[in-house]
Chain A
Amino acid sequence: MSNWTEVGQLNDIPRLGSRVVDNNGEEIAIFRTSEDQVFALRNRCPHKNGPLSEGMVHGNKVACPLHNWNIDLTSGEVVAPDKGCVRRHEVKLEGETVLLAI
């Protein structure tokens, strides 16, 4: 059971960038692509816990700032040849408003 929670406006997030939502001490990174799609992932790279929110967004992927692992934003899967996955959260836009399923 999840609730759609308003977490901010689309323009709070830079295009090809990310902002963080603090959910009871657990960080969730919200990403915005060049096409203005939004995705949400737990803000921890499965490799060494790097903050994905600080990574570079390219296409539908984000590169972790610590060791450059790439994570697919749509699935949360690590892009090969590295292996692993990141927990994904449902997120959607209603107009300009960003809603996160908690």
Chain B
Amino acid sequence: MKERLVLVGNGMAGVRTIEELLKLDADYDITVFGAEPYGNYNRIMLSPMLTGETTLDAIMLNTPEWYAEHDITLHSGKKVVRIDRKNRLVIADDGSEAEYDRLLLATGSNPFILPVPGHDLEGVIGFRDVKDVEAMIDAAQNHQRAVVIGGGLLGLEAANGLMKRGMRVSVVHISDTLMDQQLDSEAGQMLQRELQARGVEFLMQASTQEIVGKERVEGIKFADGREVQTDLVVMAVGIRPNIELAQSAGIHCERGIVVNDTMQSFDPRVYAVGECVQHRGTCYGLVAPLFEMAKVAANHLAKLGYGRYEGSVTSTKLKVTGIDLFSAGDFHGDDECERIIYRDPSKGVYKKIVLKDNRIEGAVLYGATMDGPWYFQLMREGSDVSAFRDTLMFGQGDTADAGHGANHTVMNMSDDTEVCGCNGVTKGDIVRAIQTEGLFTLDEVKAHTKASASCGGCTGLVEQILAATVGTDHSHPKVKPMCGCTDHSHDQVREAIRSEQLTSMDAVFKKLDWRTPNGCPSCRPALNYYLISSWPKEAQDDPQSRFINERVHGNIQKDRSYTVVPRMWGGVTTPAELRAIADAAEKYQVPMVKVTGGQRIDLVGVKKEDLPAMWKDLNAAGMVSGHAYGKALRTVKTCIGSQYCRFGTQDSVGLGIKLEKMTWGSWTAHKYKMAVSGCPRNCAEATIKDFGVVAIDSGYELHVGGNGGIKVRVTDLLAKVETEEEVLEYAAAFMQLYREEARYLERTAPWIERVGLNYVKSRIIDDMENRKTLHARFLESQQIAQNDPWNELSKDEHRLQFVPMKTLNSEEKPHV
């Protein structure tokens, strides 16, 4: 017989857990109890429903048909009143019962109602569910005055909605700062002034003493003697986890139902997720942590047992049209923190970033929130910001908004504005997908719209649209899993490969409980890279885990043809090489011959079956593969240098050739480009390369972390050295450090921004011993890596993979 799972609480957290469980094909008979008479709806859209921007139908997430389709028994409108843990039974208020093998509690939270006299009068409500919204809409039609008690996120959204519905609204707040859980006093004042200008009245530092009225509320009296008249009181002074049912069943509760990292209560058959839960001392009231919990609970219910919930970091946005507000982390800071503050009162902009040891602890943004997601990401990853601290306040620049200029805020953007330039996705496409498909995470938006799925340059913008569309909050797991096959992050996986001495992909899958039999196109190339870079001698390269370009050593083109790029050491060639290239181009009828940006020649449009023969011809003329397709050393670009140039101070060509001879064939986390300029005029453009050398009269400047792609980044100066030998040693040590520590597909630029230049210096400049060790490890792994793939793959035993395994012709009679 199937095991029985009973869910108490038909809300977002509980139903999300069921959805995750269905995805895992777990075999349960599922029964759901919900006190509200609907299916599961999107509670965070209640504010837009109040303002009239959306309707109940539009915010339904799961209709009765959905439950039927998945054979789930739904008891809506039935409140569970008792859990009989001994007999494993839940009992609802109408007497209906359900037995369980596992029980999932997702009872959510209740609005806290101040226990003052008159709190039970008609017209005193919370702001929590559809019923409350209906009561507010009804009041707006029949009455004039409303008071919202509580100047927090929810209270201000309620006030805004009631005002839009035509009521005269006052907000009552206990302290002198609105949203004091999220804002410092300065931002709070700005928000208050803005809302006052829109007509909301405020009673600050007001402590409610009594609600007066006969049957319906008529007014409020405060402790300091003030009084107001009103026809409606909305209490928005906070939420309390709804633990009544759990408590009555003897399940251990403190503020919420206490759960462990697998979302189990003290009774291991009883799980709990959502706002009713207390995990590691914290209760959450935002939607994204609930989804993370749901994932973990489903994983455990499906008996997979490797998911763990480790808590969430959250950030907040207020969803009141026209007011941009963002808050994350510890925005006050302690004595050891520094605060960078930017004020422009006439433009209504205020920004504060709290730093500790050059890492962001928290941020408050008012009036310009464009860079909120970026700050949040830096905070979450604990990135060192010292390299760009001077400009931190001015944001991520044109990367965050995909080149549309810094003046666009998401709210002002028209629906036809192109957000994702790679895939041609407009703001309207994204908003529609979020609303119609019920999306909540960046990954879901990516999957459905392809926005930010290619170069990732618009990720910040897409996150903002998501936050603005979905609602008031935005949060992420503390560690980002590598992909859907695992809950482990890139760093955790690589650490395990090293410490557990895992040398094959199957060993990784087994040791780390991969949930797919052979990974996916996202994790397999990464794992292959981590294996061969961690264990260059022990681990075998797996061609089937490489992208096609690295498997057939050419870039695939849209017509299925490939490119062939011979290496030209330091960008220097000879008439004989050029002749051989010209011969090959003619012999194999190459449609395009193109000079690349890396100082070599690209033969474009080569048929796959011609590749081995063409490589053989080029090999015969002394040329090898340029790895122009790989996550590997690409080119070393040089200028003419002191051999001929009248300005040259050093032999840039000679040094470039030495660098390329040392580093070619090495696999790296992402593509890796170098350059050597012979004087500070820098004709080789060394300051936008991963590793760039600029010769000066007294030696060489070594620059790292440059990039000329999606986001141009100028290098940081790593060191000045005097000899070519030193250049080579530092170049190898830096490349090895990058190979060992950057995440797969992370270029040197974002890697350095993440770990900080000071860290790189501490490993390479300050610690000479370590530099020499890195240098030695690099050379050691090069002994294995420096094989020309053309020479290898043009051998007869490999040739078959370039041609069809069988060619059938209708003139021939087929075999039976």
Interface residues of A (CB under 8 A from B): 3-8, 12-17, 19-24, 27, 30, 34-35, 48, 50-51, 54-59, 63, 65-66, 68, 81, 102
Whether the pair A22, B558 counts as a contact (CB closer than 8 A) is: no
Quick check: is B809 within 8 A (CB to CB) of the other chain? yes
Smallest beta-carbon distance B429→chain A, Å: 13
Whether the pair A68, B544 counts as a contact (CB closer than 8 A) is: no
Whether the pair B518, A16 counts as a contact (CB closer than 8 A) is: yes
- Which of A15, A16, A56 has the most chain B CB atoms closer than 10 A to its own CB? A56
Q: Is the interface of B mostly helix, strand, loop or mixed?
A: loop
Query: How far does the alpha carbon of A48 sit from the alpha carbon of B558 in the complex, in Å?
Result: 8
The answer, among A5, A16, A57, for a CB contact under 8 Å with B815, is A5
Supply 29 A–B pairs (Cβ within 8 Å), ascending by A.
Answer: A4-B815, A4-B816, A5-B808, A7-B805, A14-B543, A16-B544, A17-B544, A19-B804, A20-B804, A20-B805, A21-B807, A21-B808, A22-B808, A24-B810, A27-B804, A48-B558, A51-B560, A54-B548, A54-B556, A55-B521, A55-B548, A56-B521, A56-B544, A57-B544, A59-B516, A63-B520, A65-B547, A65-B556, A68-B521
Residues of A close to B448: CB separation below 8 A = 81
Whether the pair A34, B517 counts as a contact (CB closer than 8 A) is: yes
Query: How far does the alpha carbon of A34 sit from the alpha carbon of B777 in the complex, in Å?
Result: 34
Whether the pair A59, B808 counts as a contact (CB closer than 8 A) is: no
Knowing A4-B816, A22-B804, A56-B547 are in contact, say whether A66-B556 is a contact too (CB < 8 A): yes
Smallest beta-carbon distance A96→chain B, Å: 13
Query: How far does the alpha carbon of A58 sit from the alpha carbon of B521 in the complex, in Å?
Result: 7
Whether the pair B544, A22 counts as a contact (CB closer than 8 A) is: no
Query: How far does the alpha carbon of A66 sit from the alpha carbon of B558 in the complex, in Å?
Result: 7
Quick check: is B620 within 8 A (CB to CB) of the other chain? no
Residues of B close to A8: CB separation below 8 A = 805-806
Residues of A close to B520: CB separation below 8 A = 58, 63
Whether the pair B518, A59 counts as a contact (CB closer than 8 A) is: yes
Whether the pair A13, B805 counts as a contact (CB closer than 8 A) is: yes
The answer, among B543, B558, B809, for a CB contact under 8 Å with A24, is B809
Smallest beta-carbon distance A64→chain B, Å: 9
Interface residues of B (CB under 8 A from A): 437, 447-448, 516-521, 524, 543-545, 547-548, 551-552, 556, 558, 560, 800-801, 804-810, 814-816
Whether the pair B816, A3 counts as a contact (CB closer than 8 A) is: yes
Residues of A close to B551: CB separation below 8 A = 54
Query: How far does the alpha carbon of A55 sit from the alpha carbon of B551 in the complex, in Å?
Result: 10
Query: How far does the alpha carbon of A57 sit from the alpha carbon of B518 in the complex, in Å?
Result: 9
Query: How far does the alpha carbon of A6 sit from the alpha carbon of B519 in the complex, in Å?
Result: 31
Query: How far does the alpha carbon of A4 sit from the alpha carbon of B808 in the complex, in Å?
Result: 12
Whether the pair B558, A63 counts as a contact (CB closer than 8 A) is: no
Query: How far does the alpha carbon of A27 sit from the alpha carbon of B608 in the complex, in Å?
Result: 14
Residues of A close to B545: CB separation below 8 A = 16, 56
Whether the pair A56, B808 counts as a contact (CB closer than 8 A) is: no
Query: How far does the alpha carbon of A48 sit from the alpha carbon of B815 in the complex, in Å?
Result: 34
Query: How far does the alpha carbon of A63 sit from the alpha carbon of B215 in the complex, in Å?
Result: 66
Query: How far does the alpha carbon of A86 sit from the alpha carbon of B796 in the complex, in Å?
Result: 33
The 8 A-B residue pairs with the shortest CB-CB distance in the complex, in nearest-first order: A19-B805, A63-B521, A7-B806, A54-B548, A16-B544, A22-B807, A22-B804, A8-B805
Whether the pair B814, A3 counts as a contact (CB closer than 8 A) is: yes
Query: How far does the alpha carbon of A47 sit from the alpha carbon of B517 in the complex, in Å?
Result: 26
Residues of A close to B809: CB separation below 8 A = 24
Residues of B close to A14: CB separation below 8 A = 543-544, 801
Whether the pair B524, A58 counts as a contact (CB closer than 8 A) is: yes
- Which of A6, A22, A34, A35 has the most chain B CB atoms closer than 10 A to its own CB? A22
Apart from A58-B524, A63-B520, what 20 extra A-B contacts exist at CB < 8 Å?
A3-B816, A5-B808, A6-B806, A7-B806, A8-B806, A12-B805, A13-B805, A14-B543, A14-B801, A16-B518, A20-B805, A22-B804, A24-B810, A27-B804, A51-B556, A54-B548, A54-B551, A56-B524, A59-B518, A81-B447
Whether the pair A58, B810 counts as a contact (CB closer than 8 A) is: no
Smallest beta-carbon distance A13→chain B, Å: 7
Q: Which residue of chain A is the closest to B806 with respect to CB atoms?
A: A7
Smallest beta-carbon distance A10→chain B, Å: 11
Residues of B close to A4: CB separation below 8 A = 815-816
Residues of B close to A50: CB separation below 8 A = 560
Query: How far does the alpha carbon of A17 sit from the alpha carbon of B560 in the complex, in Å?
Result: 17
Knowing A12-B805, A13-B805, A58-B518 are in contact, say whether A5-B814 is a contact too (CB < 8 A): yes
Residues of B close to A56: CB separation below 8 A = 521, 524, 544-545, 547
Smallest beta-carbon distance A12→chain B, Å: 5
Q: Which residue of chain B is the closest to A60 with respect to CB atoms?
A: B517
Q: Which residue of chain B is the closest to A4 with respect to CB atoms?
A: B816
Residues of B close to A68: CB separation below 8 A = 521
Residues of B close to A12: CB separation below 8 A = 800, 805
Query: How far does the alpha carbon of A34 sit from the alpha carbon of B556 in the complex, in Å?
Result: 25
Smallest beta-carbon distance B462→chain A, Å: 15
Query: How far does the alpha carbon of A7 sit from the alpha carbon of B805 in the complex, in Å?
Result: 7
Query: How far does the alpha carbon of A51 sit from the alpha carbon of B608 in the complex, in Å?
Result: 12
Smallest beta-carbon distance B560→chain A, Å: 5
Knowing A34-B517, A66-B558, A102-B808 are in contact, say whether A19-B801 is a contact too (CB < 8 A): yes
Query: How far does the alpha carbon of A27 sit from the alpha carbon of B254 in the complex, in Å?
Result: 65
Smallest beta-carbon distance B453→chain A, Å: 8
Residues of B close to A5: CB separation below 8 A = 808, 814-815
Whether the pair A6, B815 counts as a contact (CB closer than 8 A) is: yes
Query: How far does the alpha carbon of A58 sit from the alpha carbon of B516 in the complex, in Å?
Result: 8
- Which of B518, B543, B806 has the most chain A CB atoms closer than 10 A to its own CB? B806
Query: How far does the alpha carbon of A19 sit from the alpha carbon of B551 in the complex, in Å?
Result: 14
Query: How far does the alpha carbon of A54 sit from the alpha carbon of B611 in the complex, in Å?
Result: 15
Q: Which residue of chain A is the closest to B485 with respect to CB atoms?
A: A58
Residues of B close to A19: CB separation below 8 A = 801, 804-805
Q: Which residue of chain B is the closest to A68 with respect to CB atoms?
A: B521
Residues of A close to B544: CB separation below 8 A = 14-17, 56-57
Residues of A close to B558: CB separation below 8 A = 48, 66
Smallest beta-carbon distance B423→chain A, Å: 9
Residues of B close to A30: CB separation below 8 A = 805
Query: How far does the alpha carbon of A4 sit from the alpha carbon of B816 in the complex, in Å?
Result: 6
Query: How far does the alpha carbon of A19 sit from the alpha carbon of B799 in the complex, in Å?
Result: 13
Residues of B close to A20: CB separation below 8 A = 804-805
Whether the pair B547, A58 counts as a contact (CB closer than 8 A) is: no
